[in-house]
Every structure is written in structure tokens, then in C-alpha cells.
Amino acid sequence: MYRGERTVSDRQKNPSQSRPRVIVAGGGFAGLAAVKQLARQPVDVLWIDQKNYHVFQPLLYQVATGLLDPETIAIPLRFCTRKWPNVRVVLGEITDIDLTGRTVTAAADSFAYDYLLLAIGSTTNFFGNGELASRAWDMKGLTMSLRLRAEILESLERAAMETPRGQIPALAFAIVGGGPTGVELAAALSHLVRHEIPKDYPELDTKRIPISLLQAGDALLPSLPPAIQAYAQARLEAQGVNVRLKSRVQHFDGRTVTLDNGECLAAPLLIWTAGVHAAPLIAKLRVSQGPGNRIEVNRNLQIPVHPEVYVLGDLTFHKDALWPQNAPFARQSGTFAARAVLNAALGTGPHPNFRYRDLGTMVALGPMNAVVYLPWMGRLSARGFSGWVIWLVFHIGALVGFRNRFAALLDWGSGLMNRRPAAGLIVSYDKEPASKK
């Protein structure tokens, strides 16, 4: 359908040759939203990703802490496209993009396009600190979350063998980054260690295992109102999390974390959630780029010198717009770009400029506790059990597929009733730090 076909200029000379060809690069939130809009439309869609599944990334921390099985938050791309005859899936890493020639190289083949929706996502940003990149863990992807889960459980097993009864385990966890991911991970890890597994490790006093959350700024959840920030910090501290503000990590030798003020903190396991930057391939493109190697676009999410290319999700940068790198923005950008492509390809008129709608922020703080901030509803906020109900309903609805929604409810329900992690098996993985994935 795509290999060796005529370029877009050839098709313009003879419009009867083929339908418009659209490549959607990336299987994340933006890519899935775009493909949904293009499905069953008079365009040919090629959906390319190096993984054969879409993963609900906001819940990766629950996979890492054993609260959810990995299959609960992932769904195969080909399952999504079963009823979309105009969509074809290609499994392979994108190794080159020729913006001038309008081709994408993946799986050792080259594919021509009339329109390209670029949504290949981001990688963890260690801000140039190679020491942290080689020794810290992250959760950028399902595989890394599974490796981290194995490392957490193995560290508990080692501590159980090495710690005499009545002594404090030589084990500590540190999480870097006080945004939603870091806060949710700290709460989930504390609940796992303090409440869910004590019966499995009677030889360990798990309540004495230090868990630290290190935030470079002066508050957790910096995008939320101060009252919510204070509540989240108080809840974490009540669960035994050591929240340290204005604490920027400078070094990590695998056993000790060194802060910028010279203070040292014992933490054999360091988890990094403090930032992302564009995928390495983006740096090779000859286009204007902003912070984190994101691609500078116009108000229509297009590359100005290549208007047939739309940039979505984490890759998008506009100097006059503070677009966040989160799932709601990714979905909205994917939906917008797909509709704009259909308008252009089918000649139905220009599409209005992209406008991001801030749907708010939801952060889980443990079982039956969450904070919610919804600016579009008159800056409505909720916390505690009511916030958790909103968080639960939203996340169940956002998962793709009935099976995944039912499985998530089953895992969460069993965890609340039995205080047992849904996935407590140690499966052998080639466990490597974040930079060696």
C-alpha cells in the first residue's frame, strides 16, 4: 500500500491514483487518538510503532509497585484496528524521517506519506547527568516498570535474608520528582511496603524502611493550588514518606544520594520521575527545536516549513503556548491533527487553530484517597475519598477495552480487601538502569 508508491506531487498531477496516505508515527495517547479519528475515513493510514501495544502510562507506577498486572494497562495495536479496514499496523522502530522526500524509514523499509502525524513520544531526561542516567531507575515504558517491580521485590528479599530480627533493614527507597508521577509512586510504594507485604516478610520491620521523595522546587505538585499541595504533602508524611523540598540530586553512586547542598542520603534504590525530553530521533531533524528537543510548531501543530507534518504530544513546543506534556494534551493534539488532515485531504475547508482545554489534574495518594483539581468546572477541587471516587471513575473510563477496565477493578478491589499486591511475582528480566534499556 505504501512501498514504492508515487510521491504526493505525482498524485496531485493525477488525483485518481490513490487516496491520501497518512502515517501515524507512535502508539501512545496522541497516536491512538489520531488513528481513531482517521478510522473508516477515505484515507489510507499506516500506524507505526516499535511496540505492538498501547500502554496507559499514567498507571505505570501501579505496575512497578505490583498493584496492577501489566496486561491491565496495555492493549495490542492490532486489537484496536480489527474493525478499521483503512488502517494498517507496522511493527518496527522508526530510524529515519526524510521531511523533504516525505518518507519514513522503519522495519528496514521506507514508506511514503502525504501527511505525517509525528507522535513518537519522549524519553527520561536526566539533564545531562550521566552518573544518574547509568544508575537510577525510571518508569518510561512497560518493560522498565516490570524491571523496577522485580528490583523492588528482590531488594526486599535480600533485606529479609541479611537483616537480623529487631534491626532496621539496610534498605531505603528514594524517588526524585514531586510532580504527579513522583507523588503517586511515593504513595503507592509506601502502601506496598507498610501495609500490603508485612505478613509476607515477618522478619522485616517494613515500617522502618525509609522512603524519601526529593523535590527540587519548594512545593509538591507545583501546578496545583497551595491548599492541595499542602494536603498532598501532609498525606504522604502521614504514610511515612520523608518529603524533602528544595533538594536537588547531584550524585548517586548506587548506594548514596548526594544533594546539591552536600547532604548525603542512604538509598540503594533511586527512582527518577523528574523530567522528559524528545526521543533521540527528533534531534536529527533539521527543524527549529525548543526545550527538551521538542519541535517548534505553529498554532495548528504543524512544522511551519513542512505543513503536511503535524507534531503531537510530548514532542510539541510553541513559544507562546504553555502546552503540558501529559495525556490529555496528547489526546487532544492527536484528535485535532487527524481532523485537520481530513479537512485538508478532503477539501472541506481550513481547520481552526488548536486550543488546549485543561481538563485538570488527578493524583492518587493511596487507597481511597486522591486530590482532584478541575479548572474547567469553576476550579472545582476534591480530596480524600470523594477525590478518589472521581479519580477511579476517570481512570476506569480512560482504559481501553472492557477487559482492561474489569481487570483493573478486580485488582484494585482485591488489593483493598486482601492487602495483597495483584502482581507479586519476581520474573527474571535483564534488569538495567534507565540509560541501558
SS3 (DSSP) at 145: helix
Amino acid at 353: N
Sign (positive or negative) of CA dihedral 192, 196, 200, 203 = positive
pLDDT the model gives residue 418: 61
Instruction: Kindly report the backbone phi and psi dihedral angles of residue 146, in degrees, each rounded to the nearest multiple of 5, phi listed first.
Output: -70, -40
Amino acid identity at 408: A
The DSSP letter of residue 362 is E
Sign, CA dihedral 229-416-152-173, equals positive
Is 256 within 8 Å of 102 (Cβ atoms)? Answer: no
CA distance 382 to 374: 9
The per-residue pLDDT for 433 is 53
Pure H helices in 46-179: 60-64, 77-80, 130-135, 142-162
Q: What is the pLDDT of residue 10?
A: 45
Q: Which three cell numbers stand for residue 135?
A: 544508575
Q: Please provide residue 117's backbone torsions phi and psi, each rounded to the nearest 5 degrees.
A: -110, 105
CA distance 273 to 132: 12
**Pick from 228, 141, 151, 145: nearest CA to 183:** 228
Active site residue 184: yes
Instruction: Show the 3-state SS of 240-258.
Output: CEEEECCCCEEEECCCEEE
φ, ψ for residue 105, nearest 5 deg: -105, 125
Check: CB of residue 46 under 8 Å from CB of residue 125: no
* Predicted pLDDT of residue 107: 84
- Secondary structure (DSSP) of 157-172: HHHHHHSPTTSPPS--
Give yes or no for a contact between 364 and 186, defined as CB atoms under 8 angstroms apart.
Answer: no
List of domains in the chain: 8-50+92-124+276-346 (3.50.50.60), 130-274+359-428 (3.50.50.100)
Asked if 276 and 122 touch (Cβ cutoff 8 Å), the reply is: yes
- CA gap 335, 344 in Å, rounded: 14
- In eight-state DSSP terms, residue 34 is H
Name the strand (E) or helix (H) holding 237. helix 226-238
**Do 348 and 342 contact (CB within 8 A), yes or no?**
yes
Does residue 15 sit in helix, strand or coil? coil
Question: Which pairing describes strands 87-91 and 44-49: parallel, antiparallel, or unpaired?
Answer: parallel
pLDDT in tens, the chain (437 residues): 455 444 444 444 444 457 999 999 999 999 999 999 999 999 999 999 999 999 999 999 999 998 888 889 999 999 999 999 999 999 999 999 999 999 999 988 999 999 999 999 998 889 888 899 999 999 888 999 999 999 999 998 888 888 777 666 778 999 999 999 999 999 999 999 988 888 888 888 888 899 999 999 999 999 899 999 999 999 999 999 999 999 999 999 989 999 998 999 989 999 999 888 888 899 889 999 998 899 999 999 999 999 999 999 999 999 988 898 899 999 999 999 999 999 998 888 777 889 999 988 999 998 899 999 998 777 788 999 999 999 999 998 888 888 888 888 777 776 666 656 656 677 765 545 554 44
Q: Which of 184, 196, 296, 432 is catalytic?
A: 184
Q: Is 384 left (phi over 0), alpha (psi -120 to 50) or beta?
A: left
**Sheet (strand 103-106) strand order:** 94-98, 103-106, 109-112
DSSP β-bridge partners for residue 404? none
Q: Is the pTM of this model over 0.75?
A: yes
Beta strand ranges found along 160-248 (DSSP E): 173-176, 211-214, 241-244
- What pLDDT was estimated at residue 311? 97
248 phi-psi bin (left φ>0, alpha ψ -120 to 50, beta other): beta
End-to-end alpha carbon distance in the chain = 33
Say which residue the cell 498524485 belongs to.
Answer: 11
